[in-house]
Amino acid sequence: MILYAPLVSKGFRQPLPLVIVDIGYSAKKKSCGLAWTGQRDSIQVLFGEAIEKVARQMAVLRESVLVIEAPLSTLHDRLGNPGIRGEFEKGRGWYCGPGAVTHLAARRFLEELARKLRADKQVLLAEAFLSNKSRRTSHSVDATTILRRFWGTKPKALYEGVEPVLGLVSGVPEVRVFRT
């Protein structure tokens, strides 16, 4: 699998089909919300089940955008210390609390997804940032929110020096911020 970013603002025609993962990382709870273009209802599944379902969906789509609600890039200062990636992240850095857990989950998710897809399969990748919600919502509801609002939401500016989360990713994924 070849993960490619940036995507939409670089001239890809839209709207490409979307595969949305509102990622969670739990051993026993259904913590991942999934939604995709053409799917009737979003679903909430276990982490490993999410990898399987997304791999099956991506395999049948010739071209699509995989959107993960988790940090897909990092930023470190010249001393190696982590920092926020843009103004949108103030008070909610990728490197602490829930951001750090979803960062770890996203790395694992992408590594496992790469093992399940053909080596030459190209996957366009974007990040959703859905934080500071006014009320608690389920992962499946959040996946639906991202699916419905993705194409109408502009990518946020990232600070200089932001890097992709994994060497598997070519380029830095765009970040779109969603508020509820």
* Mean pLDDT for the chain overall: 90
End-to-end CA distance of the chain: 33
pLDDT tier for residue 85 given thresholds of 50, 70 and 90: very high
pLDDT tier for residue 10 given thresholds of 50, 70 and 90: low
Q: What was the pLDDT predicted at 93?
A: 87
Mean pLDDT across the stretch 126-131? 91
On whether the pTM is more than 0.95, the answer is no
Of residues 21 and 132, more confidence is placed in: 21
Q: At what angle do helices 47-60 and 98-116 cross, to 10 degrees?
A: 50
Mean pLDDT across the stretch 134-152? 91
Mean pLDDT across the stretch 64-87? 95
Cα–Cα dist 150/130, whole Å: 11
- Does residue 101 register a pLDDT over 90? yes
Tokens 């679903």 found at:
43
- Does residue 28 register a pLDDT over 90? yes
Q: What angle do CA 6, 100, 51 make, to 5 degrees?
A: 65
Mean pLDDT across the stretch 127-146? 89
Chain centroid to Cα 51, Å, comes to 13
3-state secondary structure string across 47-62: HHHHHHHHHHHHHHCC
* Neighbour-count burial of 20, counting CB atoms closer than 10 A to its CB (0-12 exposed, 13-18 middle, 19+ buried): buried
- Give me the percent of the chain exceeding a pLDDT of 70: 93
53-69 in b/e form (b: 16+ CB < 10 A) is: bbbebbeebeebbbbbb
